[in-house]
């Protein structure tokens, strides 16, 4: 499938270029803001003056955690949001979901050039890279987190910021007076910017790209729901659009079709939605309170959740760990995920949806199928298919 070009692609590129210029001209300030936000969210920030120093830092952190018998995961990041301290990881196959969800300690290593100023800026960048790599409207899997979240995912978070000495002017005299990696990195940046006139440091990013999905008129929510339904089906997932009165019957049918005999239902899942399925005495609802181990989760057939929001343009559902969604691990391990989406939760596009979400929550953005693309941007299934995702839209 080739998804084609957006009519506002050039506007998105123009906005992205302006934001990148803004970051370069104020990188020292954004890094300090990011550091403060990550620490406020319960994480720790480490600075490295190059790749070799970053490797030593990670090695020391891993050794320290292993002495405490802790499981450790190490990731990269696509973006670091200075405003909120949010880490953003986008990928096409979903393998990275394990690190933010399962280990006791998470270490993220990222270059300082991945910083973006605000949460809203993601509405630009998340719509660009995927089309240049897999041809998808946005990356099939996007994971965001800020520090640590009680009862969900890692209990310890470390962010390693790496300056690989690529910015012009890094070797200016002032760098020699710094005494630690943080001071050296910031001094390098400030030296590189010292000759930039003040008027050139003031940049306003244009926001002329579409706020709604192409072809969707303001106020036409039925068209938004229909677009979401079609996008989900077209991406290879099972999709149903039903009235609330038949939700229990629909879910029972879906679970029977997939041979599900055990299911996790977090607190807050619509009351009674499993009523028809549990009539069969061989079926059981499994509690995740107290939390199940990874091995125990692997013995459960399915999980049923609601969502925090959904995006029609890409057929994406977004989970934030709120009521009816539970922690991240149960949506990762069992083989089938049934997600109930209420029609009013569906936004037409990323720009419409981004402001609904809390950037401090652990967010999981799921599109139905992992993806890869050839040189002609013809998109096909990834080499590692996703879990069976079933989306039930309730009107």
38-42, 100-104, 225-229, 361-365: which range is least confident on average?
Answer: 100-104
Q: Report pLDDT for 382.
A: 45
Q: Report pLDDT for 278.
A: 95
Copy the structure tokens of residue 218.
Answer: 């303001």
Q: In this predicted model, which residue has the larger pLDDT, 381 or 16?
A: 16
Alpha-carbon gap, residue 335 to 324, rounded angstroms: 18
Mean pLDDT, range 269-288, rounded to an integer: 93
Q: Using 50, 70 and 90 to split pLDDT, how confident is the model at 131?
A: low
Q: Report pLDDT for 195.
A: 87
Highest mean pLDDT among 117-131, 155-169, 265-279: 265-279
Mean pLDDT, range 329-344, rounded to an integer: 94
Whether pLDDT at 380 is above 60: no
For residue 72, the Cα-to-chain-centroid distance in whole angstroms is 20
Q: Report pLDDT for 1.
A: 40
> For the segment 309-325, what is each residue's pLDDT rounded down to a tens digit?
999 999 999 999 999 99
Up-side HSE of residue 239: CA atoms within 13 Å toward CB?
A: 24
Q: Are 262 and 302 in contact (CB under 8 A)?
A: yes
Q: Report pLDDT for 2.
A: 46
Whether pLDDT at 153 is above 50: yes
Strands 309-311 and 316-319, sheet pairing: antiparallel
Q: Using 50, 70 and 90 to split pLDDT, how confident is the model at 87?
A: very high
Whether pLDDT at 167 is above 70: no
Whether pLDDT at 134 is above 80: no
Mean pLDDT, range 120-131, rounded to an integer: 85
Percent of the chain with pLDDT over 70: 86
> For the segment 260-278, what is each residue's pLDDT rounded down to a tens digit?
999 999 999 988 999 999 9
Q: Report pLDDT for 66.
A: 75
Mean pLDDT, range 202-223, rounded to an integer: 93
Q: Using 50, 70 and 90 to split pLDDT, how confident is the model at 3?
A: low
For residue 226, give Cα distances in angstroms to 212, 244, 345.
14, 17, 13
Average pLDDT score over the chain: 88
Whether pLDDT at 149 is above 60: yes
Mean pLDDT, range 285-300, rounded to an integer: 94
Q: Report pLDDT for 136.
A: 66
Q: Using 50, 70 and 90 to split pLDDT, how confident is the model at 353?
A: very high
Return all residues near 373 (Cβ < 8 A) that are at least 6 apart.
133, 134, 135, 136, 379, 380
Up-side HSE of residue 142: CA atoms within 13 Å toward CB?
A: 31
Mean pLDDT, range 344-369, rounded to an integer: 93
> For the segment 45-74, what is each residue's pLDDT rounded down to a tens digit?
999 999 999 999 999 999 888 766 678 999
Q: Report pLDDT for 385.
A: 39
């Amino acid at each position: 499938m080739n998804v084609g070009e957006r009519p506002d692609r050039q506007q998105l590129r123009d906005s992205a270029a302006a934001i990148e210029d803004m970051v370069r001209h104020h990188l020292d300030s954004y890094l300090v803001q990011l550091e403060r936000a990550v620490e406020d969210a319960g994480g720790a920030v480490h600075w490295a003056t190059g790749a070799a120093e970053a490797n030593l830092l990670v090695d020391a952190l891993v050794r320290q955690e292993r002495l405490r018998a802790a499981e450790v995961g190490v990731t990269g990041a696509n973006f670091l949001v200075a405003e909120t301290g949010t880490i953003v990881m986008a990928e096409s196959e979903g393998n990275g979901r394990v690190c933010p969800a399962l280990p006791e300690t998470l270490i993220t290593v990222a270059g300082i050039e991945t910083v973006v100023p605000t949460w809203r800026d993601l509405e630009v960048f998340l719509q660009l890279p995927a089309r240049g790599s897999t041809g998808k409207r946005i990356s099939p899997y996007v994971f965001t987190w800020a520090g640590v979240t009680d009862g969900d995912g890692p209990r310890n978070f470390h962010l390693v910021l790496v300056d690989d000495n690529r910015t012009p002017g890094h070797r200016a005299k002032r760098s020699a007076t710094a005494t630690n990696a943080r001071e050296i990195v910031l001094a390098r940046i400030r030296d590189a910017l010292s000759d930039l006139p003040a008027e050139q440091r003031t940049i306003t990013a244009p926001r002329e790209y579409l706020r709604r999905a192409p072809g969707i008129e303001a106020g036409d929510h039925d068209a938004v729901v229909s677009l979401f339904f079609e996008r989900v089906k077209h991406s290879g997932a099972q999709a149903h659009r039903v009235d609330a009165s038949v939700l229990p019957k629909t879910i029972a049918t879906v679970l029977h079709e997939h041979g599900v005999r055990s299911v996790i239902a977090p607190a807050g899942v619509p009351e009674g939605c499993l009523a028809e399925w549990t009539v069969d005495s061989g079926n059981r609802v499994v509690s995740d309170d107290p939390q199940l181990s990874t091995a125990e989760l692997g013995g459960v057939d399915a999980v049923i959740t609601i969502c925090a929001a959904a995006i029609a343009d890409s057929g994406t559902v977004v989970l934030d760990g709120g009521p009816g969604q539970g922690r991240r691990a149960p949506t990762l391990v069992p083989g089938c995920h049934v997600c109930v989406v209420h029609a009013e939760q569906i936004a037409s596009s990323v720009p419409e949806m981004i402001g609904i979400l809390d950037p401090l929550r652990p967010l999981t953005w799921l599109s139905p199928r992992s993806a890869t693309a050839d040189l002609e941007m013809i998109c096909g299934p990834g080499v590692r298919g996703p879990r069976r995702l079933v989306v039930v839209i309730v009107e």
